[in-house]
């Protein structure tokens, strides 16, 4: 009956009344205690699995987000500096590994011989210009003379023709005079013969015979004079014809005047061409004089093999300039790594020598594998071909200012990471 009495209130007693444990309660508590470690272990395992799963997914995504290779090195275009003229080196203005700016005078060759060549070329040019100028003045003079000669010789031909006509007319008149004189002479000789017979018969006076004799002699002299005049007229005709021939020759020569003008113009053109040639020789001499000072083609560090006192030849290499501001990275990726690689993707370059990490981007991918550029490229068509994963050079350029301290030098080993996304 005591068990049926309800327990007293806590408020009434101020103490908790102890409650007797029940056998069923004890068994439930023991079972719950046994199940709690197992449940916690399962939860922990499940949590670890979930964490590992997420970590694996993250790691897979991270590792697949970039491609990396340790077959990479820093590269740059080396600028060999060679002499463009031969001569004696009088000054070397740089030391090994010295930084130089573009356009700086690196080496000086003795310029005296080239200064003399410039002076000689200037003198030759002045002579050629004077010759061309004189010939250029001759052209209009020759043209005017040619025109005048043509007109003069044409009038000379007309005068010579007129002279020939006049001489021929004189010859005709002289011939007529000869005929008339001969006729008169024949009559005078006949009269003299008749008067001779009459005088012998004393039929006429001797005075008449003397007159006939004088007349016969005079007619004979007249014939001789007429014949002489005829001969002189013939000479005049020959002289007139000779003058006509000379006038024709002069006119023909004058007609060659345009050709002479053309020849003079050709000589002028030849003189002008000679001037251009001499001017080109002067420019070449001035260039050779400039080439005695060898300049830096780019900014960079210098490696030199020249010293003062050397006699250098044109084309002989004297220095090498390494432009450290233009360094890039050549990474030889496997062909299986290029599936998602594209131009413009960002990259990080880990430098072995300094431990730096530089930023860059993919600039280009080579058009062929590295072995194809070798002296003896491989030939796989031999019957015993074994597939080998090839490597293709990828050019990675640095972002501006990444190599500001110029610690990345050509030939250094680097490890680039190219991010594919």
pLDDT in tens, 297-353: 999 999 999 999 999 999 999 999 999 999 999 999 999 899 889 999 999 999 998
pLDDT tens-digit map of 193-205:
776 777 677 666 7
CATH number (domain holding residue 370): 2.40.30.170
- From 6-15, 173-182, 359-368, 409-418, the region with the lowest mean pLDDT: 6-15
Average pLDDT, the chain: 81
The whole-number pLDDT of residue 62 equals 61
Say yes or no: 216 and 157 in one domain.
yes
Q: How far apart are CA 45 and CA 39, in angstroms?
A: 10
Do the domain assignments include residue 120?
Answer: yes
Helix (H, G, I), strand (E, B) or coil at 28: helix
Do the domain assignments include residue 24?
Answer: no
Do the domain assignments include residue 269?
Answer: yes
Please enumerate in sequence order all residues whose Cβ is within 8 A of that of 338, keeping only pairs 6 or more positions apart, or say none.
Answer: 67, 365, 392, 394
- Six-digit token string for 394: 């990828």
The whole-number pLDDT of residue 390 equals 87
| Position with higher pLDDT, 193 vs 275 | 275
The whole-number pLDDT of residue 176 equals 81
Say yes or no: 161 and 265 in one domain.
yes
Say yes or no: 101 and 124 in one domain.
no
- The torsion of the CA quartet 277, 278, 280, 283, rounded to 10 degrees, works out to 180
Judge whether residue 28 has pLDDT over 60: no
Show the domain range for 100: 81-110+291-319
Do the domain assignments include residue 335?
Answer: yes
The whole-number pLDDT of residue 94 equals 95
Judge whether residue 12 has pLDDT over 70: no
Mean pLDDT of 374-403: 80
Do the domain assignments include residue 154?
Answer: yes
- Six-digit token string for 309: 């006192």
Say yes or no: 274 and 356 in one domain.
no
Most confident stretch, 66-70, 159-163, 218-222, 282-286: 282-286
CATH number (domain holding residue 248): 1.10.287.620
Say yes or no: 160 and 265 in one domain.
yes
The whole-number pLDDT of residue 217 equals 80
- From 122-126, 244-248, 302-306, the region with the lowest mean pLDDT: 244-248
Judge whether residue 256 has pLDDT over 60: yes
Do the domain assignments include residue 104?
Answer: yes
Do the domain assignments include residue 60?
Answer: no
- Six-digit token string for 281: 């020789």
DSSP bridge partners of 415: 350
How would residue 19 be classed by pLDDT, with cut points 50, 70 and 90? very low
Please enumerate in sequence order all residues whose Cβ is within 8 A of that of 357, keeping only pairs 6 or more positions apart, or say none.
Answer: 348, 349, 350, 351
Say yes or no: 118 and 243 in one domain.
yes
pLDDT tens-digit map of 135-150:
776 666 666 666 676 6
Say yes or no: 87 and 225 in one domain.
no
Say yes or no: 88 and 126 in one domain.
no
H-run or E-run covering 280 = helix 257-290
Judge whether residue 226 has pLDDT over 80: no
Say yes or no: 136 and 245 in one domain.
yes
Mean pLDDT of 184-190: 78
Say yes or no: 154 and 270 in one domain.
yes
pLDDT > 70: percent of the chain = 81
The whole-number pLDDT of residue 24 equals 45
How would residue 17 be classed by pLDDT, with cut points 50, 70 and 90? very low
| Position with higher pLDDT, 373 vs 369 | 369
Say yes or no: 255 and 122 in one domain.
yes
Say yes or no: 102 and 201 in one domain.
no
CATH number (domain holding residue 95): 2.40.50.100
Instruction: Report the domain count for the chain.
Output: 3
Do the domain assignments include residue 2?
Answer: no
């Amino acid at each position: 009956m005591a068990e049926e009495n309800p327990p007293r209130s806590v408020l009434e007693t101020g103490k908790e009344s102890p409650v007797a444990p029940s056998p069923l309660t004890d068994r439930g508590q023991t079972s719950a205690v046994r199940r709690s470690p197992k449940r916690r272990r399962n939860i922990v395992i499940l949590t670890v699995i979930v964490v590992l799963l997420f970590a694996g997914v993250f790691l897979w995504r991270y590792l697949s987000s970039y491609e990396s290779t340790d077959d990479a090195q820093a590269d740059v275009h080396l600028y060999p500096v060679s002499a463009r003229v031969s001569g004696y080196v009088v000054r070397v203005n740089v030391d090994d590994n010295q930084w130089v700016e573009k356009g700086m005078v690196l080496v000086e060759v003795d310029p005296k011989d080239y200064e003399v060549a410039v002076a000689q070329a200037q003198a030759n040019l002045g002579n050629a210009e004077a010759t061309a100028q004189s010939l250029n003045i001759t052209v209009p003079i020759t043209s005017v003379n040619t025109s005048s000669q043509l007109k003069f010789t044409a009038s000379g031909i007309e005068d010579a023709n007129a002279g020939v006509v006049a001489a021929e007319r004189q010859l005709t008149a002289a011939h007529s005079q000869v005929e008339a004189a001969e006729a008169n002479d024949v009559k005078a000789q006949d009269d003299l013969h008749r008067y001779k017979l009459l005088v012998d018969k004393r039929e006429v006076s001797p005075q008449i015979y003397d007159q006939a004799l004088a007349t016969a002699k005079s007619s004979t002299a007249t014939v001789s004079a007429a014949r002489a005049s005829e001969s002189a007229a013939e000479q005049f005709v020959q002289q007139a014809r000779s003058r006509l021939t000379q006038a024709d020759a002069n006119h023909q020569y004058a007609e060659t005047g345009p050709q002479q003008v053309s020849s003079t113009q050709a000589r002028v053109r030849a003189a002008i061409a000679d001037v251009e040639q001499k001017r080109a020789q002067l420019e070449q001499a001035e260039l050779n004089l400039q080439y005695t000072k060898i300049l830096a083609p780019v900014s960079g560090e210098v490696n030199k093999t020249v010293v003062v006192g050397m006699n250098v030849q044109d084309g002989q290499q004297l220095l090498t300039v390494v432009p450290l501001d233009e360094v890039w990275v050549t990474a030889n990726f496997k062909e299986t790594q290029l599936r998602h690689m594209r131009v413009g993707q960002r990259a990080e370059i880990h430098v072995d020598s300094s431990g730096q990490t530089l930023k860059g981007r993919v600039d280009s991918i080579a058009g062929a594998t590295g072995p194809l550029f070798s002296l003896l490229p491989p030939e796989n068509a031999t019957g015993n071909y074994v597939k080998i994963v090839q490597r293709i050079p990828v050019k990675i350029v640095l972002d501006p200012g990444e190599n500001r301290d110029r610690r990345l030098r050509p030939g250094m080993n680097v490890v680039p990471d190219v991010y594919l996304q």
